[in-house]
């Protein structure tokens, strides 16, 4: 088995710590931050308690009933205090994405990290949505992402198609075939370039 030398590990740490910094990318919250925000959200903490105690969820205690329907369809699980969602029921005999459920207080951070950070590149709704949907889930995420992308000030300034000073280009009229582009005005004002043979 290959063992990495100690100096290579130090070199790798130095490269990673230099290339990822607060000025080039927005960091995703750590596991501890994630657990803290999940426990602070009443819906997610209620679902986590129901899964741990193997009890039914009381829909009346939830502000968003989508969590209960996902749990009833066997699409939620907990690992290390973080709630995850599956595309299909866990018992389905297929490979599928397991996405972290994002608490409301972290949603803006996730959207900003995958849309507005310099590494994300301010892409449109579809690319931003699929980048996020491959890793994370929350009820109504498509609507939230669409609103964030459409409300992005940078994108609106850069992609505005309603500038008043934009003009539609017109075709230059050509009356004779093979007109020379540099000739203009009346016929008597046209001149030939010196030392150029006449055609």
- Token digits for 101? 């459920």
Pairing of strands 136-137, 98-101: parallel
For the stretch 39-62, pLDDT in tens is 999 999 999 999 999 888 888 888
Predicted structure pTM score: 0.65
Ordered alpha helix ranges (H), 28-93: 31-40, 42-52, 66-72
Roughly what angle, to the nearest 10 degrees, separates helices 104-111 and 141-150? 50
Identify the band that residue 165 occupies on the pLDDT scale cut at 50, 70 and 90.
low
Sign of the CA dihedral 37, 138, 109, 20?
A: positive
Helix (H) or strand (E) holding 24: none
């Amino acid at each position: 088995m290959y063992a990495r030398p100690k100096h290579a590990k130090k070199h790798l740490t130095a490269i990673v710590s230099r290339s990822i910094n607060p000025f080039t990318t927005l960091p995703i919250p750590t596991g501890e931050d994630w657990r803290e925000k999940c426990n602070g959200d009443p819906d997610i903490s209620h679902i986590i308690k129901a899964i741990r105690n193997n009890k039914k969820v009381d829909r009346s205690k939830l502000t968003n009933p989508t969590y209960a329907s996902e749990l009833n369809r066997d699409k939620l699980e907990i690992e290390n205090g973080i709630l995850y969602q599956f595309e299909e029921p866990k018992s389905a005999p297929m490979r599928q994405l397991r996405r972290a459920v994002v608490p409301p207080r972290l949603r803006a951070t996730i959207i900003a990290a995958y849309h507005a950070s310099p590494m994300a590149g301010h892409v449109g709704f579809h690319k931003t949505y699929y980048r996020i949907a491959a890793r994370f889930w929350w009820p109504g995420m498509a609507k939230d992402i669409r609103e964030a992308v459409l409300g992005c000030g940078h994108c609106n300034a850069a992609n505005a198609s309603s500038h008043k000073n934009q003009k539609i280009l017109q075709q230059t009229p050509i009356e004779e075939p093979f007109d020379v582009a540099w000739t203009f005005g009346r016929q008597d004002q046209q001149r030939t370039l010196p030392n150029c043979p006449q055609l």
